[in-house]
Amino acid sequence: MTNLTNIRPSSGPVRLLHRSAFLRKIAKRLARNLTLTQNFHGGQIAFNAVTHSWAWTGNQDYEHFDRELQDRLLALSLGRPRFLDIGANIGAMTLSILLRNTAARALAVEPGSDAVRLLRHSLRINNIEDRCEVLDVAASAGDKSLNFDPSGSVMGHVSASWPSVAAIDIREIARRFEGTQPFLMKIDVEGYESTLLAAFLQIAAPSGSCAVIELHPLGFNRLGDPQRCLELLTAEPRFVVRALGGAPLNHVDPTHFTQIEAWWR
């Protein structure tokens, strides 16, 4: 594995070269197994040069990717140092917390083998392997396996047309955080939350625990149903549901991606 450090969003020459379809085709062949690392919250994050090309050939890097979500999770982690990342991908949210909150410990759950390899590489180069357990499985609503499409930079998702991967019930995963101390959870499973919530609602967590859940647009990956997800959560008296940041919430736009917070009373 080749590593290049301190990669930043590209300057003009790289962007010009990236506009050429011919040169991009050559680069994809040459760099498909190339791992890059980039400055990230005082540490480094590892990613694939081709799959995650947007993070170094354009105007955005990983430190600013979903920055509002990164910062909100960090703020929530200050009183909830145990972090459960469901759908961790290469670990941007997990690393964002661990590198900025030295008291935090994480459990990252991700079925994509390439993403898991990159996450483990990031943990190793930042010397924080002892603060994060990685489960290379899918979180499920009870199934022992799920069909999973790992393609795309951040869009791996449950899909009936792909091979199966091992899965663990989300309730079983959450039991690893049993205790009296509230914890923080993030769920981003590309539409599968519409199925996963039935099991999630049965998780017993200490009062003050919080889950930040991304609701995907209606029909997203043939799975998304954000309004139904919101109805399930608001109908459960053990939860208080808010918009990201804590504002009251009683409706979501079914055409949009929406981050919500579900608080255990």
Query: Residue 143 is part of a domain; what is its CATH number?
Result: 3.40.50.150
pLDDT at 13: 47
Q: Structure pTM?
A: 0.90
Q: Are residue 103 and residue 157 in the same domain, yes or no?
A: yes
Q: What is the mean pLDDT of residues 169-177?
A: 97
- Asked whether residue 98 carries a pLDDT value surpassing 70, the answer given is yes
Domain span holding position 129? 66-264
Dist. CA 111–CA 33, nearest whole Å: 19
48 and 70 share one domain: no
Report the domain count for the chain.
2
Give the type of residue at 193.
E
Average pLDDT, the chain: 91
Domain endpoint, select from 42, 63, 84:
63
51 and 152 in a single domain? The answer is no
Name the domain boundary from 63, 89, 112: 63
pLDDT digits (tens, 9 = 90+) for 19-71: 555 444 544 554 567 999 999 999 999 999 999 999 999 889 999 999 999 99
122 and 150, same domain (yes or no):
yes
Q: In what order do the strands lie in the sheet with 105-109?
A: 132-135, 105-109, 82-86, 184-187, 210-215, 258-264, 239-243
